[in-house]
Structure 1
Amino acid sequence: MEYWTIFLLIVISVISIHYLFKNLNFFKRHNIIHLSPIPILGSVISFTFRRMSFFDFILKIYNFNLNAKYVGFYVMMTPILMIRDPELIKNILIKNFESFPNRNGFTELNDLLFKKNLFSLHGEKWRNVRTLLSPSFTCSKMKMMFTLMSECAKDFMKSILPTNKGSVNMKDVFSKYTNDVIVTCAYGIKIDSMKDPTNKFYIYGKELSNFGGIKFFILAAFPRLGQILNIKFVNHNVSQFFKNVMKTTIATRDAEQIKRPDMLQLMMDIRGKEGQRELEIDDMTAQALIFYIGGFETNSNTMCFAAHEIAANPEIQTKLQQEIDNVLQESNGEVSYEVINRLEYLDAVINETLRLYPATMVLERMCEKTFELPPALPNEKPFIMKKGMLVWIPVLAIHRDEKYYDNPDKFDPERFLNNKMHNSSSYMPFGLGPRMCIANRFSMLEIKVLLFNLLARCELKPSVKTMSPMKFSKDFVIMPEDGFWLNIQRRKSIHPILESTILNN
């Protein structure tokens, strides 16, 4: 009896070990260059235990072999290929999109608001919602939203001026502005978070922005684990608040026959149309919520990095302010959508900020059809990807590769003037192809409006709390360890026409 018990335990152990470590031999079996994994944690132990920032973790994998078109690594037990070659990236994201149409997403979670949003949707469901929402972000809609953004920027400046308040927490003030912009543009509700920082949109926005980190990282790799443990990214109070806002806004618009040029209106307008599936309240809430989460966190971070670099480079700040002053002078103080889009140097500053500090450090795609990758290195064999395999596109690392950018660690907006760098496959802060960020125009405009208003009136300077050189926190997002702190001072000399225009606004 003891003999068979021992034998059975040995068999069970062997089967368990084989099952456990089968995936960890995946790249070795296929002769693909890769980072050696350790049991359970794979290649991410340094990041998982916060010995390394996600920023440095991405660079570590990318630089593992500088000649390879791709390298393998493991997130826990999941094998993933990091694609290093821009032409291969273009093939995956654009030319062969049908083979890589989806992100891993959160379709298996019990969280309806995450399962149904545009980020997580797959296949035909994603295509239908994307087609429905795209008209929200056309140039004509952006012109209309420009007015709403400008009103939020004016409220922001009224609270910032007069300044000389010492060190200002830039993340705090910029997130209040982005909160107000998204709420007015997506939900049609006017708020002023600088005056009322306890409004529920702002409170819940901060809570939602903290949903990431290790939990996001693990559940992205093991979505079924979240289903089994019934883990939700959005707690009941928050999801109920946004559902109630959506219901109330829809009821008010219907009752008072209000029409607005926003995302919600487009979702409302398909009701009753032949051949179109009417979106349920959960569907509407999910789309508006992911738009809210993305804009609240990523846009305010981009503003923070831009402000940091502007303060650290006085010559760039001077050139920006000269451009702003000139365009205000030429337009006799009238600031329109067309006027603000003539600011080429401001565009270049934002583009360079997004190069050095992309909001999304990696893009993820899942293989849906058998796909042949070219050899990773000369004289090696091609690799056949099977359905279900994942690839990562290292946006951050490519943006900082000296093969594509001279002096890549330097903040140099000039590289985006008079060339097509921002259309290159080695520049993709909003992604590439059909699944690139649907709200990229909205994001750029929101950032431009804020920086325009701020630099027309103020100067940004480092404070005693400003971290230099910047050291990134050991988290999933790209953030400095001690936050963003600057001095905001009123400009000493402003042309009279600009003075009257700015003060009256």
Structure 2
Amino acid sequence: MWWIIAVVATVVLGYRLLIRPHRHWLEKGVKQGAPRFIFGDFVGMVLQKQSLGEMVKTVYDRCPNTRYSGFYQLFTPIFVLKDPDLIKQVAVKDFDHFQDHRTFIPEGSDPLWANNLVALTGKKWRDMRTTLSPAFTSSKIKYMFTLISQSGEQFVQYFLKKEESLITIEMKDSFTRFTNDVIANTAFGVECDSLEDSNNEFYTMGKKATDLSIWRFIGYSLMPGLFKLLKVTLFSKEVSEFFSNLVETNIHSRQKHGIVRPDMIHLLVEARKNGFKDEETEPIQDTGFATAADHDVNKTPKNTKIKITDQDIASQALSFFFAGFDSVSALMCFMSYELALNPDVQTRLIQEVDETVDACKGKLTYESLLGMKYMDMVVSETLRKWPSSVGVDRVCTKPYIIDPKCPEEKPVHLEKNDVVWLPIFGLHRDPQYYPEPERFDPERFNDGNKANIKPYTYLPFGHGPRNCIGSRLALLEAKTLFFYVLSHFEIVPVEKTQIPLVLSKKHIILSAENGFWLGLKRRSDKSRK
């Protein structure tokens, strides 16, 4: 008798723990796919048979002609927004219900990660976002341009010193060295030349900080309590200590010697001493079509002091390093690949570069760079086809109802802590918004066509108050570097170039399976004219 009870109890418990979680959306009247046992819709990624971008596209394409659908990240049910109007409603109009990102790392497991802008929630996020925003105003970005431009010239000069007419390089390695130097300078106040000094400590630690395995995220999702008990951190002790000590030493040196640099560390130190500061209203300069829109998130009175520790400052600096190192370099890699495979596009862009060189008499200015319309079209199309973030999440912070608009729909009740997704990779490759989505076509973003792009179908940096705060800086980095590269080189396919490109199934950020091997072909004097 007892064994029968034990079997029944085991079956019931197994159903509740392993089967019922994957019926969550069906019970709410939301269409879903056929999630696999335990792994849900992530089985392809777990088995490394599918990249994250491909998974997002698969989820987006299923359940056609619906405004939303459901899928499962292991046992976590996720609500996918497919309708642009619904995306606007959740990301902007009713943002107060969806202001947080999902927290993968249990509180207290890794302070360096938990205190950064991406991971912060509620009032802590609002305060930190408001504190950091002045670092990314038009005037601050223009100031940073000088540093970025110097790094761009430094990058090109390294390759110009080589004697070969065709230099074969792995773009990801080269571009991460450039983004490393830019972020080191603009966020940490540290000058580097990571091409000349390939093993400098800052670059080495940056590589370790961004070399994150998807298995660690899966482990935290499945067994957060165990990972916390075992003290498994996102960043190694070596990485955490390096960046924490670097920031602490930097702050001490500035205070001791009276050094002032209008960068992120300076702004956070000033906010710690004096509270929020009112800034003069500045005209917003058009940094590109892909620039994330500004939103006022501040509900804290001006000149209110907030508690900011050295650890908080280190966390913000590292988060921007993380974003700049990998995401911006990924944009550059895919752009160089598309230029190599689309020589007509590259020829036109080189022509615009040469015209800009002549117009500014060889010395690139901030205004002349922002005036390069075709450059912006190429960057915008690269981010359309290869967005650095394939999807972004929002967490429901208080109960919310998705009202029905179609005959087959019924009200969907979202509860606190439910996860909502904006499937960027799927939207950007939806043929109803972008005909022939696999084709690289910068003309989608010319003056006539970009006005017809349906709002909330182009989200390379997210949307709403929780969008990417560094979009202007990212676009400026990419445009500056390609200006200098194309002033002297053509980017061409080489024997090691993977055609067609296959997405890596081992990385969270979009990357090429066999790397981005391309050639820098030195331009002749005749082609420069």
Residues 116, 126 of structure 1: CA spacing in aligned structure 2 closer, same or farther, 3 A cutoff? same
Residues 245, 358 of structure 1: CA spacing in aligned structure 2 closer, same or farther, 3 A cutoff? same
In structure 1, stretches of 5+ residues that fail to align are 499-505
In structure 2, stretches of 5+ residues that fail to align are 276-303
Moved more, 113-122 or 421-430: 421-430
**Contact 2:104-2:217 within 8 A present in 1 as well:** no
Q: Distance in 2 between matches of 1:74 and 1:272?
A: 45
Residues 51, 248 of structure 1: CA spacing in aligned structure 2 closer, same or farther, 3 A cutoff? same
Q: Does the alignment pair 1:63 with 2:43?
A: no
Q: Does the alignment pair 1:492 with 2:524?
A: yes
Q: Distance in 1 between matches of 2:72 and 2:491?
A: 43
Residue of 403, 411, 425 corresponding to 2:456: 425
**Contact 2:384-2:428 within 8 A present in 1 as well:** yes
Q: Distance in 2 between matches of 1:366 and 1:242?
A: 29
Map 1:87-486 onto structure 2 (within 5 A).
87-106=85-104, 108-109=106-107, 110-161=109-160, 162=162, 163-219=164-220, 223-273=224-274, 275-375=304-404, 378-418=407-447, 419-420=450-451, 424-475=455-506, 476-486=508-518
Q: TM-score, normalised by structure 1?
A: 0.94
- Once the two structures are superposed, residues 366-394 of structure 1 have per-residue CA deviations (whole angstroms, 9 ceiling, x without a partner) of 11122111348532312111111111111
SS at structure 1 position matched to 2:193 = coil
Q: Distance in 1 between matches of 2:238 and 2:195?
A: 24
Residues 343, 225 of structure 1: CA spacing in aligned structure 2 closer, same or farther, 3 A cutoff? farther
Q: CA deviation at 1:278?
A: 3.7
Moved more, 17-26 or 62-71: 17-26
**Contact 2:172-2:515 within 8 A present in 1 as well:** yes
- Once the two structures are superposed, residues 335-382 of structure 1 have per-residue CA deviations (whole angstroms, 9 ceiling, x without a partner) of 111111111100111111000000000111111122111348532312
Q: Distance in 1 between matches of 2:393 and 2:53?
A: 16
**Contact 2:360-2:368 within 8 A present in 1 as well:** yes
Q: CA deviation at 1:206?
A: 1.2
Q: Which amino acid aligns with 1:120?
A: A
**Contact 2:127-2:306 within 8 A present in 1 as well:** no
Q: CA deviation at 1:288?
A: 0.3
Q: Which amino acid aligns with 2:501?
A: M
**Contact 1:141-1:261 within 8 A present in 2 as well:** yes
Q: CA deviation at 1:480?
A: 1.5
**Contact 1:44-1:76 within 8 A present in 2 as well:** yes
Q: Paired residue for 1:501?
A: none
- Once the two structures are superposed, residues 392-412 of structure 1 have per-residue CA deviations (whole angstroms, 9 ceiling, x without a partner) of 111011001011112211111
Residues 441, 421 of structure 1: CA spacing in aligned structure 2 closer, same or farther, 3 A cutoff? farther
Q: Distance in 2 between matches of 1:193 and 1:422?
A: 39
Q: CA deviation at 1:221?
A: 6.9
Q: TM-score, normalised by structure 2?
A: 0.90
Q: Paired residue for 1:36?
A: 34
SS at structure 2 position matched to 1:104 = coil
- Once the two structures are superposed, residues 24-71 of structure 1 have per-residue CA deviations (whole angstroms, 9 ceiling, x without a partner) of 221222232111223321222122111222222111111112201111
**Contact 1:105-1:220 within 8 A present in 2 as well:** no
Moved more, 220-229 or 244-253: 220-229
**Contact 2:98-2:396 within 8 A present in 1 as well:** yes
**Contact 1:69-1:376 within 8 A present in 2 as well:** no
**Contact 1:101-1:366 within 8 A present in 2 as well:** yes
Q: CA deviation at 1:11?
A: 2.7
Q: CA deviation at 1:78?
A: 1.3
- Percent identity over the alignment is 36
**Contact 2:327-2:509 within 8 A present in 1 as well:** no
Q: Distance in 2 between matches of 1:431 and 1:24?
A: 28
Q: Distance in 1 between matches of 2:30 and 2:71?
A: 10
Q: Distance in 1 between matches of 2:324 and 2:350?
A: 26
SS at structure 1 position matched to 2:79 = strand
Q: Which amino acid aligns with 1:127?
A: R
Q: Distance in 1 between matches of 2:414 and 2:393?
A: 15
Moved more, 471-480 or 58-67: 471-480
Moved more, 116-125 or 7-16: 7-16
Residues 62, 377 of structure 1: CA spacing in aligned structure 2 closer, same or farther, 3 A cutoff? farther
Q: Distance in 2 between matches of 1:285 and 1:494?
A: 49
Q: CA deviation at 1:494?
A: 5.8
